[in-house]
Amino acid sequence: MSSSLLDRIHQSLPELLRLLEESVNQDSPSANKKLGDAMADWFADTFVRLTGGRVTRIPNETYGDPLVCELGNGPNRILLVGHYDTVWPEGEAAKRPFEIRDGLAYGPGVYDMKAGVLQAMIALKVLQEEGRLPADKTIALFLNSDEEAGSPSSREVIQREAAKAKAAFVLEPPMEPHGFLKTSRKGSGRFKLIVEGVSAHAGVNPEKGVSAIEEMANQILRLHALTDLARGTTVNVGIVRGGIGTNVVADRAEAEIDVRVATAEEQKRVEQAIRGLAPVLPGARLTVTGGMMRPPMVRTDATAALYGLARELGRTELSLAVGETATGGVSDGNLIAACGTPTLDGLGARGDYAHSPREYVRIDEIPLRTALLAHMIESC
């Protein structure tokens, strides 16, 4: 029940924390090309210094350049996916720099997800130093620069990398409070419904009007009726706007709709239903825009096998009980799994409060989670 990898990773913890401090104290908001590129430089240098691997920069006009960091020359590619952008603006790190208090590390982007990326780099470094990087493998660590913006420009690169890989590990945090890995994620979409009616005076000649708001009320009931909790489907009209005054029959209303689905069949059913909405009131007109943004990450047999391996390695090598869970949140894991690549998500750092100033990482859990990833890379 002992892992020499875990021992070696323990020894590397001070180095990891030093690197975490440096990276957290460097702002990297998605929408800032200059800061993004500077962060990319830092991670590229760090990867090469730690592992002796090679880095390919993918030129990007809007966001920082994403990186493909590779180690090994074997035919079987294992993809690790993380992102170096954060939701925090320029100046945030100066306001609340990296800090360790009571065994927890704080700072902008520490948990989402600079710690997860550095855990992966230290896992690779230790595997390399111990001569435990299998010769038949190439490890590709893809570092995204626009994940917090929904991966608009890196989507194609991610899918190209996923198609080449035999398995993918996503460095997002595991699910708390138990640190479970994520074996399925719902897909998500965002739609907008615009209703056009005919305006009229509500008191003088209402019969000449067609109320876009009344029409919208009908459509909202239809949309919400598409929810099927047993199948994991939710359709939520989250924003409604319309009308200009109480004495006017409204000629326009708009709704914004969030869709979550667990399967490709449900995605198809809901998409067709939304695009096929027809007016109830004579004279009303409907326009639907938007669509599905991320397909569902489905728990396939191959995903279940990867999870089984993580569970086994956790038990035999680390005395760690590894659990699994499904989540309604999306990640780049959705894009990868849609390519048919077995995908295990949640292999990053433990902590809490992503996207909040209370964000933190648990330092005591860093070695175990790093070791779990290292064992998975070695054995999968």
Applying CB under 5 A, the residues found at the interface with Zn ion are 112
Q: At closest approach, how far in Å is the CB of 148 from Zn ion?
A: 5
| Cβ closest to Zn ion, residue 146 vs residue 251 | 146
The helix/strand/coil state of 293 is strand
User: Residue 102: which region, alpha, beta or left (left: phi > 0; alpha: psi -120 to 50)?
Assistant: left
Q: At closest approach, how far in Å is the CB of 353 from Zn ion?
A: 11
The helix/strand/coil state of 122 is helix
| Cβ closest to Zn ion, residue 128 vs residue 325 | 325
- What is the C-alpha to C-alpha distance for residues 8 and 20, in angstroms, rounded to an integer? 18
Phi, psi of 69, deg, nearest 5: -100, 120
| Cβ closest to Zn ion, residue 150 vs residue 279 | 150
Do the Cβ atoms of 350 and 361 come closer than 8 Å? Answer: yes
Beta bridge partners of 181: 324
- What is the C-alpha to C-alpha distance for residues 305 and 312, in angstroms, rounded to an integer? 10
| Cβ closest to Zn ion, residue 173 vs residue 209 | 173
State both tokens at 138: 């190439």
Give the pairing of strands 76-83 and 137-144: parallel
| Cβ closest to Zn ion, residue 70 vs residue 112 | 112
Q: At closest approach, how far in Å is the CB of 27 from Zn ion?
A: 15
| Cβ closest to Zn ion, residue 146 vs residue 365 | 146
User: Residue 315: which region, alpha, beta or left (left: phi > 0; alpha: psi -120 to 50)?
Assistant: alpha
Residue among 324, 333, 344, 348 at smallest CA distance from 111: 348
Using CB atoms within 10 A of its CB, is residue 348 exposed (0-12), middle (13-18) or buried (19+)? buried
Question: Which single residue brings its beta carbon nearest to Zn ion?
Answer: 112
Q: At closest approach, how far in Å is the CB of 220 from Zn ion?
A: 30
| Cβ closest to Zn ion, residue 27 vs residue 112 | 112
Q: Report how many helices (DSSP H) and strands (DSSP E) the chain contains, helices first.
A: 11, 18
Q: At closest approach, how far in Å is the CB of 85 from Zn ion?
A: 9
Q: At closest approach, how far in Å is the CB of 114 from Zn ion?
A: 11
| Cβ closest to Zn ion, residue 148 vs residue 266 | 148
| Cβ closest to Zn ion, residue 52 vs residue 89 | 89
Phi, psi of 53, deg, nearest 5: -80, -170
Residue among 351, 380, 357, 6 at smallest CA distance from 174: 351
- What is the C-alpha to C-alpha distance for residues 310 and 345, in angstroms, rounded to an integer? 11
Q: At closest approach, how far in Å is the CB of 235 from Zn ion?
A: 24
Q: At closest approach, how far in Å is the CB of 285 from Zn ion?
A: 38
- What is the C-alpha to C-alpha distance for residues 379 and 318, in angstroms, rounded to an integer? 14
- What is the C-alpha to C-alpha distance for residues 80 and 139, in angstroms, rounded to an integer? 7
| Cβ closest to Zn ion, residue 114 vs residue 125 | 114
Q: At closest approach, how far in Å is the CB of 108 from Zn ion?
A: 11
User: Residue 353: which region, alpha, beta or left (left: phi > 0; alpha: psi -120 to 50)?
Assistant: left
Amino acid identity for residue 190 in this structure: R
Q: At closest approach, how far in Å is the CB of 135 from Zn ion?
A: 35
